Structure 1
Amino acid sequence: MESFLPYVLPLFLLPLSLYLVSFLRKTGPTESKNLPPGSNGWPMLGENMEFALSGPQQFVKERMQKYSPEVFRTSLLGEKMAVFCGAQGNKFLFTNENKLLTSWWPQSMKKALLFPEFIESNLKEVSALKRSFHHDILKPEALKQYIPAMDSLARQHLDSDWLPNTVVKVFPLSKKYTFELACKLFLSLVDQEDIKKLSDPFTLVTNGMFSVPIDFPGTAYNGAIKGGKMVREELMRIITERRKEIVMNNETEGRDLLSKMLLVRDEDGNFMSEMEISNNIIGLLVASFETTSSAVTAVMNYLAGLPHIYREVFKEQMEIAKSKGPNELLTWEDIEKMKYSWNVARESLRLTPPAQGAFRETITEFTYAGFTVPKGWKTFWTVHSTHKNPKYFPEPEKFDPKRFEGTGPAPYTFVPFGGGPRMCPGKEYARLEVLVFMHNVVTRFKLEKAIPNEKIVFHASPTPAHGLPVHLHPHEK
């Protein structure tokens, strides 16, 4: 779940009372240690304002130049924080999971997403879905069966939401597609009314989850709290009904992700509870609603803005299309042929990464690059210390899919999905979804940006300011 949760948490301006409690708790002897260089920012607010105004990329770049290219200190979310930079910083955090560090979310995030019973729990207790099982259901062998369903829904989506129009807004439509696909694959939901019961409150959650966490009526965060409660209630209804069906029909094999979760046992032979299952499904749905749709949008943005890149992708995808029958759906073998298209997608993720990084909490004091990071401090790894760093990617602003040919970028420099034990388990799922969508779009349309220099803003993920409107030019048959 971490791949979508912490992108823009530093945009929060924490309530004064929360910060004061945190401040009083954390002031003390650690200030005399050889801490990483940096600034605690403004009293009460830390550097939240600077982060919000400059954006995560500029924020990190400026502090790497001013303080240290390896690690610097800041204050975000009312927490003392060390931001690790560069390939070595990424490697250090990724390889010390559960040794020196553990994953961390702020209380405000837990409150919006999880059942009250789990708010005080650590992330290991919340993430009851065992990592081994998580990887089993999201590894390539298991995902192969999803490809035809992805292709079929992409065709339906383009027929209903793209084809009737000459101009479409890619970002909201990609969110619609990715969420509907997740509902179908994870929960076997296909009825639009059933999906709407989840998508409407989910919109409230994602719109308010990254706002100022003040739970007063009328605030966006209050909407997120209410939306989260509605999502959990609907999921509990779905989960309870499915469990009854499994018992009644004496099912032993899951027909979708939900059924597999209901049938799996932990190391002690116990089934997962409905609440635990709900927590994990919520994580997967949020990822589908935000990061995957953001990735799809980024790819479409570059295809619409770079005709020479589009031509090469079109050529590759048309070769695959011509090898298929009129109504024959895509297969794993077809996906494996999309090598240039995937390099284009990876370059899109390098330049416009959906996730900005992730938080950790130190579980023991340690030294890095000669600086002491005390126990209890929060750490942050960020894509912005490597993805556009000329040390790792020459001419970093240039869109060049060739960077990913051969052995590709150096280890720990291209990290849109994180790394180590906490690497996003949905990486392969996202790859398939992006490539299937690319195939369907480019084989049917040539794209042209309606706003050539549309600004990218940061909300839950990088978002085109106007939703990325594009002109559609259908290919002649």
Structure 2
Amino acid sequence: MDPVVLVGACIILASILILFATGLKKRSRNLPPGSYGWPVVGESLEFLRRNQEGKPEKFVTDRMSKYKSEVFKTSLMGEPVVVLSGPAGNKFLYSNENKLVNTWWPISVQKLLGTCLSTSVGDEAKQMRKLMAYFVSPDAMEKLYIKTMDFVTQQHIQHHWQGKEEMKVSPAVKLYTFELACRFFMSVEDPEHIKKLSSLFNVFLRGVISLPVNIPGTKFYRAMRATAVIREELLRIVRHRREALMKNNNNNNNRHDLLSHLLVTPDENGSFMSELHIVNNIILLLFAGHDTSTVTITLLIKKLGDLPHVYEKVLQVHREIAATKEGGEFLHWDDIQKMKYSWNVVCEVMRQYSPVIGAFREALVDINYKGYHIPKGWKIYWNTPITHMNASFFPKPMEFDPSRFEGDGAVPYTFVPFGGGPRMCLGKEFARLQILTFLHNVVKRFRWSLVVPEERLEYDPLPIPVQGLPIRLHPHKL
């Protein structure tokens, strides 16, 4: 036989043996049970459908029951995904951030947000987080935000609630939270400018978790177009601010918002964040800083309308705080600390209606978890409602009970509306101050009743009453 042909045949045979051995090795791996669903789309359509039905946990619980396992595999947004459930899964992911796993988001999120804190990993993410951390810290809440937040809240209620017999809560609160975010992050205060940006963000939000099909008529296409307009608008604001700072020689009086801080503050290596990255991070914070709070405030209003006995206890706390104030005096940081029962009520709202239903991670290495193999590069998903609505951790989970959060509160890694570990929500304290300030101002002025008591919720991607939560307002008699 020709030596060349013989060598070639040997190479082919060796390749076949290697491929066979590789395939055998892959088959021998103990992957979690589960199904990848349909080609390309996997089980994404059912995942999204459960969200629209207002039952995001059903996608997970159905498969846990089917496979008799808290760990299973699926395919979402074009990626093989392992779903981890329960406190053990949460703890594993939170404690292994930047070690075994890194944050990951579907292509739709990556395309819309670009490079920013949420989509960055490793040292880049750490640098961004350090630059942004102070402006959403408790210290900043106390020194920079609380009086302005109280003032803006009072103005909002006066313009959008006062004098109305009936109104829709969700759109009104969305405008309020977006106005606060625009003021604190960029010092944008013009109502028409804020309204324009808010309408664009509503389109953006609906495409955040969607199939990344960029053709006319799809949610993702509309979101991409809206985000392009938002990005152009914010770039103009950034460049105008940069010019103003240069004219004023970086005067400290011009550094009271996040935008100015990011423009004049270098990272530990002496590098400044690029204009595009500044814009992307502001888009992220405008999104995260108002949509989750909008959902929580809206559903808080719903629950207080449903449960008069809880409303009365909340009202008593806030009347006592109001009684200590002289005319025109704003809230102080100490007042917020007195709102413990109110925050327990808010936490119970977030437990029953998780503002964020879950998040993704990516395996940096091959992982062995509970005897199952998770290959490097696979995506991992954790679901918030799975523990929030688990009777083992929260007895009678359908019952609204703020006392669950008294004392030591919930079992670690069971109540996770803000995530955990190095990636815990940066804006947790900002959200807390925003929600409690709004609650204080609304309950001391009104009672309300629900026009549609059994109004359905839809997760798209956050839980929103489908009719906007219409209520009838009943002002307190002075």
The alignment's TM-score, normalised by the length of structure 2, stands at 0.90
Equivalence for 2:92 = 92
Equivalence for 2:182 = 183
Equivalence for 1:133 = 131
Give, in angstroms, the shift of residue 229 of structure 1.
0.7
Equivalence for 2:348 = 347
The whole-number CA distance in structure 2 between the counterparts of 1:270 and 1:42 is 46
Q: What amino acid sits opposite 2:221 in the alignment?
A: N
Give, in angstroms, the shift of residue 456 of structure 1.
1.0
Give, in angstroms, the shift of residue 69 of structure 1.
4.7
Contact 2:175 2:195 in 1 (8 A): no
Q: Secondary structure at the match of 1:379?
A: strand
Q: What amino acid sits opposite 1:110 in the alignment?
A: Q
With over 3 angstroms needed to count, the CA separation of the structure-2 counterparts of 1:69 and 1:313, relative to structure 1, is: farther
Equivalence for 1:3 = none
The whole-number CA distance in structure 2 between the counterparts of 1:196 and 1:169 is 17
Task: Confirm whether residue 359 of structure 1 aligns to residue 360 of structure 2.
Answer: yes
Q: What amino acid sits opposite 2:87 in the alignment?
A: A
Equivalence for 2:102 = 102
Equivalence for 1:78 = 78
Equivalence for 1:158 = 157
Give, in angstroms, the shift of residue 381 of structure 1.
1.2
Contact 2:98 2:122 in 1 (8 A): no
Contact 2:166 2:473 in 1 (8 A): yes
Q: What amino acid sits opposite 2:78 in the alignment?
A: G
Contact 1:126 1:279 in 2 (8 A): no
Equivalence for 1:424 = 425
The whole-number CA distance in structure 2 between the counterparts of 1:43 and 1:383 is 27
Contact 2:203 2:222 in 1 (8 A): yes
Q: What amino acid sits opposite 1:48 in the alignment?
A: S
The whole-number CA distance in structure 1 between the counterparts of 2:206 and 2:383 is 23
The alignment's TM-score, normalised by the length of structure 1, stands at 0.90
The whole-number CA distance in structure 2 between the counterparts of 1:29 and 1:204 is 46
Equivalence for 2:447 = 446
The whole-number CA distance in structure 2 between the counterparts of 1:312 and 1:28 is 64
Q: Percent identity, please.
A: 47
Matches within 5 A, 1:176-325: 176-253=175-252, 254-325=255-326
Deviates further, 285-294 or 300-309: 285-294
1:55-91: CA deviation from partner (whole Å, max 9, x where unpaired): 3211112222232453221111111111111111100
Contact 2:108 2:210 in 1 (8 A): no
Give, in angstroms, the shift of residue 39 of structure 1.
1.8
The whole-number CA distance in structure 2 between the counterparts of 1:185 and 1:109 is 24
1:27-48: CA deviation from partner (whole Å, max 9, x where unpaired): 9964541011222223333212
The whole-number CA distance in structure 1 between the counterparts of 2:95 and 2:123 is 21
Task: Confirm whether residue 387 of structure 1 aligns to residue 388 of structure 2.
Answer: yes
1:205-262: CA deviation from partner (whole Å, max 9, x where unpaired): 1233334432223433222111111111111111111111111111253121111111
Equivalence for 1:37 = 33
Contact 2:29 2:373 in 1 (8 A): yes
Structure 2: gaps of 5 or more residues: 1-22
Give, in angstroms, the shift of residue 404 of structure 1.
0.4
Q: What amino acid sits opposite 1:141 in the alignment?
A: D
* Length, aligned pairs only: 447
Q: Secondary structure at the match of 1:56?
A: coil
The whole-number CA distance in structure 2 between the counterparts of 1:413 and 1:247 is 49
Task: Confirm whether residue 401 of structure 1 aligns to residue 402 of structure 2.
Answer: yes
Give, in angstroms, the shift of residue 473 of structure 1.
0.5
Give, in angstroms, the shift of residue 357 of structure 1.
1.2
The whole-number CA distance in structure 1 between the counterparts of 2:423 and 2:26 is 28
1:106-150: CA deviation from partner (whole Å, max 9, x where unpaired): 2222222337xx8xx854587585222332221101111211111
With over 3 angstroms needed to count, the CA separation of the structure-2 counterparts of 1:167 and 1:126, relative to structure 1, is: farther
Q: What amino acid sits opposite 2:445 in the alignment?
A: R
Task: Confirm whether residue 47 of structure 1 aligns to residue 43 of structure 2.
Answer: yes
Q: Secondary structure at the match of 1:75?
A: strand
The whole-number CA distance in structure 1 between the counterparts of 2:201 and 2:351 is 27
Q: What amino acid sits opposite 1:416 in the alignment?
A: P
Contact 1:30 1:374 in 2 (8 A): no
1:142 to 140, 143, 147: 140
The whole-number CA distance in structure 2 between the counterparts of 1:422 and 1:378 is 16
Contact 2:343 2:436 in 1 (8 A): yes
With over 3 angstroms needed to count, the CA separation of the structure-2 counterparts of 1:165 and 1:368, relative to structure 1, is: same
Deviates further, 440-449 or 220-229: 220-229
Equivalence for 1:369 = 370
The whole-number CA distance in structure 2 between the counterparts of 1:274 and 1:53 is 37
Q: Secondary structure at the match of 1:130?
A: helix
Give, in angstroms, the shift of residue 187 of structure 1.
0.7
Q: What amino acid sits opposite 1:87 in the alignment?
A: P
Task: Confirm whether residue 65 of structure 1 aligns to residue 65 of structure 2.
Answer: yes
The whole-number CA distance in structure 2 between the counterparts of 1:173 and 1:69 is 43
Q: Secondary structure at the match of 2:388?
A: coil
Q: Secondary structure at the match of 1:437?
A: helix
Contact 2:131 2:267 in 1 (8 A): no
The whole-number CA distance in structure 2 between the counterparts of 1:439 and 1:159 is 14
The whole-number CA distance in structure 1 between the counterparts of 2:73 and 2:180 is 41
1:166-200: CA deviation from partner (whole Å, max 9, x where unpaired): 11111111110000110011111111132234223
Q: Secondary structure at the match of 1:217?
A: coil
Give, in angstroms, the shift of residue 421 of structure 1.
0.3
With over 3 angstroms needed to count, the CA separation of the structure-2 counterparts of 1:28 and 1:360, relative to structure 1, is: farther
With over 3 angstroms needed to count, the CA separation of the structure-2 counterparts of 1:69 and 1:341, relative to structure 1, is: farther
Deviates further, 425-434 or 133-142: 133-142
With over 3 angstroms needed to count, the CA separation of the structure-2 counterparts of 1:43 and 1:130, relative to structure 1, is: closer
With over 3 angstroms needed to count, the CA separation of the structure-2 counterparts of 1:194 and 1:340, relative to structure 1, is: same
The whole-number CA distance in structure 2 between the counterparts of 1:122 and 1:30 is 30
Q: Secondary structure at the match of 1:394?
A: coil
RMSD: 1.9
The whole-number CA distance in structure 2 between the counterparts of 1:416 and 1:427 is 9
Q: Secondary structure at the match of 1:384?
A: helix
